[in-house]
Structure 1
Amino acid sequence: MSARRAALLRLAALTASLAVLLVLFNLGGVLDAQRIRSWVDEVGIAAPAAYIVVSGILGAALVPGAVLAATAGLLFGAATGALLSLAAAVVTAVLARGASARAGGDALDVVSGERMRAITSFARRHGFSAVVIQRLLPAVPDGPFSHAFGLAGVRTRDVALGTLVASGPRGFSYALLGANADDLTGPHALFAIGLNIATGALGLILAWLVVRRERARAGTAV
């Protein structure tokens, strides 16, 4: 078997596995905030630590981050829930990055064309910035991209720090929504929605600036 074919098979197997998880947890309705809450509630005073572990593992398995952060808000309130969901997001990012890096190895490099090589090269050179921008972008799920960062060879440190810096505002907004789930038209819930929108707008602006800079750089190089 050629190296390229072996790499394609490894990527196909990883992609299929992640796609199954994505459909199962995002469309299948297998888990919801109340079920996760019941698991964490059972451990009593160790609930905060249990939440970080359970949420970190579930996030790496592509359970939606919004559900996990809202669960933290339901369990611990907005402020504490936001801090715990941020810690869990870092755990998720590191686990997902490590799993896909090990499963994929150098397969992405073997099969990539020129454009994909340019993208992965940028992600490796500017790993922290790439993670921060992705975490801020609206409607872009973190879990699949954490796996993608692993395939691209982005350093664990960059993935962890980028997540720590950029996931806080969105995590707080979801935790605040979870803590105020009984009044989604109240001031706290509306603030959370506004924060989510503002975070997404910032992500779009930063992404536009980076694309503009990279295009200018490419034009200068030519």
Structure 2
Amino acid sequence: MPSRRGAVLRLAGLLGALSALAGVFLLGGIVGADEIRGWIAPAGALAPLAFVPVAGVLGAALVPGAALSAAAGLLFGPVEGALLSLPAAVVTALLARDVSARTGGGALDELSGTRVRALTAFARRNGLAAVIVQRLLPAVPDGPFSHAFGLAGVRPWQIGLGTAIASGPRALSYALLGANADDLTGTGALLGVALNVATGVVGLGLAWVVLRRERRRLGPVPGEG
């Protein structure tokens, strides 16, 4: 019983902290691209080096990745901004995964029921593919899922590599939008929107492939014709 009570407290504390961060940053919009630019710009020539760790920590604290990439675009232009957003996204993914895995991973295993166990088993079997699909899907925030992957037990190399593979196109799309924030009907901004949409379509297609493969692995569902 003490062990179970401790697991409940650890998991509740983690989820409470993440909910508070989501309310402040993800939903409240307290920190946006302009604020991030104001923090990084004073670093001058060292701004590119400062951006990666600062954005990595902010992303793990659930500041939206779109705001971080847009800030990179405002500060450094679309190409360099996207190139800096990618390592920042990897730092965010690894940091968020480590925090949640250490704090609540074992607690989740101890407390979860059949359905949650099935979901965590699916994430562990398909760790790299699951991360890639999630990063490509439209309107799906990376920060909360990085924490969820940590709780599910996805390996660090899977979340790091999956983020490095799949976050580039979306980072470039948001960097294009940030770099062209003064003209959202211009060619650069429209290219960013088109790239974001195309990335989402690819993500949906890959999600269908992964789910179909998993269904084949599990075999036919009882009662189906």
Give the TM-score of the pair, scaled to structure 2. Answer: 0.94
- Alpha-carbon distance, 1:139 to partner: 1.0
- Alpha-carbon distance, 1:217 to partner: 2.0
CA distance in 1, matches of 2:30, 2:221: 50
- Alpha-carbon distance, 1:125 to partner: 2.1
Partner of 2:185, secondary structure, is coil
Corresponding residue number in structure 1 for 2:208:
208
CA contact (8 A) 1:3 1:110 kept: no
- Alpha-carbon distance, 1:216 to partner: 2.3
CA distance in 2, matches of 1:133, 1:3: 35
Partner of 2:91, secondary structure, is helix
- Alpha-carbon distance, 1:220 to partner: 5.2
Residue correspondences, number: 222
Amino acid in structure 2 at the alignment position of 1:210: V
Matched, 1:67 2:72: no
Matched, 1:16 2:28: no
Q: What are the residue-to-residue correspondences of 1:35-74 with 2, within 5 Å?
A: 35-74=35-74
* Backbone CA RMSD of aligned residues: 1.4
1:124-181: CA deviation from partner (whole Å, max 9, x where unpaired): 1221111001101111110000011111111111110000000000000000000000
CA distance in 2, matches of 1:141, 1:32: 15
CA distance in 1, matches of 2:140, 2:29: 19
Q: Which moved more, 1:4-13 or 1:104-113?
A: 4-13
CA distance in 1, matches of 2:190, 2:180: 10
Partner of 2:219, secondary structure, is helix
Matched, 1:142 2:154: no
CA contact (8 A) 1:7 1:107 kept: yes
Matched, 1:29 2:23: no
CA distance in 2, matches of 1:149, 1:26: 18
Q: Percent identity?
A: 64
The answer for unaligned runs of 5 or more in structure 1 is none
Corresponding residue number in structure 1 for 2:97:
97
CA distance in 2, matches of 1:29, 1:195: 24
Matched, 1:128 2:128: yes
Corresponding residue number in structure 2 for 1:218:
218
CA distance in 2, matches of 1:28, 1:221: 42
Corresponding residue number in structure 2 for 1:114:
114
CA distance in 2, matches of 1:190, 1:23: 30
The answer for unaligned runs of 5 or more in structure 2 is none
Amino acid in structure 2 at the alignment position of 1:24: V
- Alpha-carbon distance, 1:221 to partner: 9.1
